[in-house]
Amino acid sequence: MSTPLTGPLPARPSEWNVDLASDVPAQIGPRRPRPQRTWFRWSLASLPVAPLLLLGMLLGPQGLFILTPSALAALDPALPVALATLGGLVGLMPGLQGPLRRALGTASMTALVTALFVAAGFMAGAMATGEQSRVFVWLLPLVLGISAASSLIVPVQRLVNPWAGPTATAESEALVSVIAGGLLLAFVRQGTFVWSVLWLFQACAVVTVLGLSGFLMLRRSASDAERRVFAVATLLLVGGAADSLSFSALLGGVCAGLLWKAGGGPSRDSLQRDMLYALPPLLALVLVVAGARVQLTSLALGLAAAYACLRTLGRVAAWALLTRFGPRGTRSGGLSLLSPGVFGIAFALNAFRALGSDMSIAISVVVVGTILSEVTALFVTPRGGAA
């Protein structure tokens, strides 16, 4: 075995793929702080959602025109891959035991109440203004309702610590909204419930088969380079299949993630590691692209303000219901879910990719609404209670 050297060799296998700067053997003598790499940091758990959205708006066609429409079109193929990666991590979450099982019921309730609040509000608004179009009367409200239903940034904490409780409700909300979103997109595509379900099964089967083939490849990978190629190919296949089927890439990712979790072993670990590595920049890309796609019209701004208000009201209502009827141990922390996270934006983009330019208004509304909700959450969220 020979290893070309470009730096220190890890002293033992357990040190591989970890940040050596934080996991070095005890050093004799004083260790000086490293001056570099402290200016700008992000992590999966603390992705700066609103600033990245604002950055996208700044760089986009309505801002500095650096992200031109053609540049945005060139970046489009990366979006379903990012969404599938996000969904894959949801699928890879530890099983529905302990906190998550308890949280699922709570999450279903909070997500449902919030989604209903937002969707009903927009439907009522559309009807009140005499709007006739199918998009504004029911499709947009439902997309916005589902986008508003979750509060999670990235399902990463419990991948590291399976029993980390505080994010369980948010994770479950994400799961519920991903499934609901998948069903909605299938229904819009097929028109009837039965055909939607049948088609959904087929689409899920396609992405699951692709996920399986990647998984099998990874089981026999002979080198780091090969492993990386297979992992990238697998994510491309899963995201790409969902995109070409106009199916929810998030749900496709969840299906594949569940399969990988069931398969276990080094393939799962490898995929999880590569997904966690690639996700922050991919999500940053998603947020910047979403920001750049915003069209700052008066209609969009008005709807966004309404979205933020309805979402906040929905959250408060859900929290009130939870406090009154929720199971013990899940009654606290409802307001900590005010911060919208990235799943709402992810679903809006998903809907845009699957349903076409009709949904471009949804992106504008969700993006601006998310920024407003983030600002609201800054003032309302109890200290230390962020999801």
Provide the minimum distance between the beta carbon of 318 and another protein in the complex, in angstroms, as a whole number. Answer: 33
Cβ neighbours of 162 (radius 10 Å):
14
Our CB check for another protein shows the closer of 131 and 358 to be: 358
- Distance (Å) of CA 166 to CA 28, 250, 331: 39, 23, 12
CA distance 65 to 276: 31
Our CB check for another protein shows the closer of 285 and 306 to be: 285
Should residue 6 be labelled a site residue for another protein when binding is judged by CB under 8 A?
Answer: yes
Output the six-digit token pair for 258: 């569940």
Our CB check for another protein shows the closer of 63 and 166 to be: 63
Provide the minimum distance between the beta carbon of 123 and another protein in the complex, in angstroms, as a whole number. Answer: 24
CA distance 96 to 101: 5
Residues 161-200 touching another protein, rule: CB under 8 A, are 199
Should residue 237 be labelled a site residue for another protein when binding is judged by CB under 8 A?
Answer: yes
Should residue 140 be labelled a site residue for another protein when binding is judged by CB under 8 A?
Answer: no
Count of residues binding another protein (CB under 8 A)?
84
Should residue 4 be labelled a site residue for another protein when binding is judged by CB under 8 A?
Answer: yes
Provide the minimum distance between the beta carbon of 199 and another protein in the complex, in angstroms, as a whole number. Answer: 7
Give the HSE-up count for residue 384: Cα atoms under 13 Å, Cβ half-sphere: 1
Our CB check for another protein shows the closer of 16 and 163 to be: 16
Our CB check for another protein shows the closer of 236 and 316 to be: 236
Our CB check for another protein shows the closer of 126 and 188 to be: 188
Provide the minimum distance between the beta carbon of 374 and another protein in the complex, in angstroms, as a whole number. Answer: 23
Contact 291, 367 (CB under 8 A): yes
Contact 370, 149 (CB under 8 A): no
Letters for 322-361 (x = contact with another protein by CB under 8 A, - = none) are: -------------------------------xxxxx----
Provide the minimum distance between the beta carbon of 164 and another protein in the complex, in angstroms, as a whole number. Answer: 23
CA distance 59 to 55: 6
Output the six-digit token pair for 96: 């529905």
Provide the minimum distance between the beta carbon of 337 and another protein in the complex, in angstroms, as a whole number. Answer: 29
Options 10-18, 118-126, 144-152, 317-325: segment touching another protein (CB under 8 A): 10-18
Cβ neighbours of 245 (radius 10 Å):
19
Our CB check for another protein shows the closer of 315 and 353 to be: 353
Output the six-digit token pair for 357: 């330019």
Letters for 51-90 (x = contact with another protein by CB under 8 A, - = none) are: -----------------x-xx-xx-xxx-xx---------
Should residue 22 be labelled a site residue for another protein when binding is judged by CB under 8 A?
Answer: no
Provide the minimum distance between the beta carbon of 105 and another protein in the complex, in angstroms, as a whole number. Answer: 35
CA distance 290 to 244: 20
Provide the minimum distance between the beta carbon of 136 and another protein in the complex, in angstroms, as a whole number. Answer: 18
Our CB check for another protein shows the closer of 67 and 371 to be: 67
Residues 240-279 touching another protein, rule: CB under 8 A, are 240-241, 243-246, 277-278
Provide the minimum distance between the beta carbon of 256 and another protein in the complex, in angstroms, as a whole number. Answer: 11
Residues 205-234 touching another protein, rule: CB under 8 A, are 206, 209-210, 212-214, 216-217, 219-220, 222-226, 228-230, 232-234
Should residue 20 be labelled a site residue for another protein when binding is judged by CB under 8 A?
Answer: yes
Should residue 132 be labelled a site residue for another protein when binding is judged by CB under 8 A?
Answer: no
Output the six-digit token pair for 249: 């890439």
